Amino acid sequence: MKRKVEVVVLSDIHLGTYGCHAKEVLHYLNSVKPKKLILNGDIVDIWQFRKRYFPKAHLLVIKKIIALAAKGTQVYYLTGNHDEKMRKFTGTKMGNIRVLDKLVLNLDGKKAWFFHGDVFDVSIQHAKWIAKLGGWGYDLLILLNRLINICLEKLGKEKYSLSKKIKENVKGAVKFISNFEKTASDLAIENKFDFVVCGHIHQPIIKKVTTNLGSCIYLNSGDWVENLSALEYNNERWHLFFFNSRKKVTNPDEWLYPEKNSDLTELISAFTAH
């Protein structure tokens, strides 16, 4: 039985890389029936695209997204840094699929602002080759981590995340994440948005941010490389869904949740035709 959801937000799937959990993405998409599907950047990893590596499961994710659109789901593809080549198609509409750089929606009377967030990343704006090199290194780290976890599972021990450990202990990484969240939230508050929804930093979260100018809800949908997470909006509530735990995690604050009783070639050709 598919769950009916008003809005689903996915980001940082990184199709075309070894770290992508495409089978899990497909399983998740097969379990929901969203009215709106927002793909918030880095869906197809064009930076690290390899002709020799695009498994069937990765292709099936794209086909599933097209199938959802064909059945009535409004699909918004918001471009990120790893799929920045898609930005030449910004404004393109094919049936229920739209390609945009950012999106504003009215959700039950509240303004929601969606964008990937790479515009806040100085390394991407001024030294793209460093960012690309980092992307390759991250992919290798994920592969190494998978091998380690296979060994840990055989020994009956819990899985371990190398990248999370690095992010938690490297001051520069912690500061970057904090600055990213603050910048996005400050801009949203300044522009009178109730929600600001990003991707890019692979850190799934829902939290309230308050400044002297007001407040907003900052949300990040995480990724499908490590966290396997999605944002869902239904009945005026936001939830974080984690595939590994098969459960929805919500922010406990009551103010946020008031109580209430085709193939890849064809796809690319379609965009090119437009």
Continuous H helices in the chain: 22-31, 56-70, 122-126, 128-154, 162-169, 171-190, 264-273
Q: Which of 34-38, 81-85, 264-268 has the lowest mean pLDDT?
A: 264-268
End-to-end CA distance of the chain: 36
Least confident of 17-21, 139-143, 193-197: 139-143
pLDDT at 130: 42
Q: What would the mean pLDDT of 209-234 be, rounded to a whole number?
A: 96
pLDDT number for residue 133: 43
Q: Which two tokens stand for residue 240?
A: 């974080």
Residue 8: beta bridge partners? 37, 232
Mean per-residue pLDDT, 14-21: 89
What would the mean pLDDT of 78-97 be, rounded to a whole number?
A: 91
pLDDT, tens digit (0-9, with 9 covering 90-100), for 154-197: 778 777 665 566 555 544 555 667 888 999 999 999 999 999 99
- Residue 74 pLDDT class (50, 70, 90 cuts): very high
Q: What is the CATH number of domain 3-273?
A: 3.60.21.10
In angstroms, the CA 273 to CA 47 distance is 22
Angle 201-204-205 from CA coordinates, rounded to 5° = 115
Q: What is the DSSP string of 100-124?
A: ESEEEEEETTEEEEEE--GGG-HHH
- Cα separation, 56 vs 65, in Å, equals 14
Q: Quick: pLDDT tens for 225-250.
A: 989 999 999 999 999 999 976 555 55
The three-class DSSP label of residue 35 is strand
Tokens at 78, concatenated = 């918001």
So where are the chain's domains? 3-273
Task: Round to whole Å and give the CA distance between 196 and 182.
Answer: 11
Only one residue has tokens 């229920």, namely: 96
d(CA 200, CA 21): 17
Q: Which of 6-20, 27-41, 193-207, 256-270 has the lowest mean pLDDT?
A: 256-270
Amino acid at 66: I
Greater confidence (90 vs 148) lies with 90
Higher pLDDT, 169 or 146: 146
